[in-house]
């Protein structure tokens, strides 16, 4: 029975145009400084990174080692090494994904609208390669009030003294 319900939801989303295809891996690479073919991304990234960064997947909550990362350092895009977030802006949101209240620098990330769940969400992607990182929500702490909810597999961490 659950398979039938899942199939019906999938058909409904497709019929009503609620599934959108974003551009991180879908022919809009010319917008980004780092451009690779799909085959090149598959060769470079592990299976989970590819699913998340290039196909807009989501890792299971509470599975990323970066969730509990507390050291001083920088979080970079696992696909291209672009600096995305710093440890000073990371906080425990309780959601099961690494969360930050702001990017490392203005222009480090880009956003687009995602309708995959049937309602609008703001998707976050790497500004350098277009890789899908996660989503941003308006329920974060001060000073921004934002919660950048990021897939840990989309990030690499580099400690800094």
Residues carrying an active site annotation: 149
Specify whether the CB–CB gap between 60 and 141 falls below 8 A.
Answer: no
What is d(CA 159, CA 161) in angstroms, rounded to the nearest whole number? 7
| Nearest 10 degrees: Cα torsion 77, 24, 97, 110 | 80
């Amino acid at each position: 029975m659950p398979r039938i319900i899942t199939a019906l939801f999938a058909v409904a989303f497709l019929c009503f145009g609620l599934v959108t295809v974003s551009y991180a891996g879908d022919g809009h690479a010319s917008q980004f400084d780092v451009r690779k073919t799909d085959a090149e991304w598959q060769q470079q990234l592990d299976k989970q990174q590819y699913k998340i960064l290039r196909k807009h997947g989501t890792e299971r909550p509470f599975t990323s080692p970066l969730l509990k990362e507390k050291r001083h350092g920088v979080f970079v895009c696992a696909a291209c090494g672009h600096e995305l977030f710093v440890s000073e802006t990371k906080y425990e949101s309780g959601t099961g994904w690494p969360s930050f209240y702001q990017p490392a620098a203005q222009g480090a990330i880009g956003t687009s609208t995602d309708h995959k769940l049937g309602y609008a969400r703001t998707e976050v992607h790497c500004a350098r390669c277009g890789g899908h990182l996660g989503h941003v929500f308006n329920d974060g702490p001060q000073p921004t009030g934002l919660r950048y909810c990021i897939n840990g597999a989309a990030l690499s961490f580099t400690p800094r003294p």
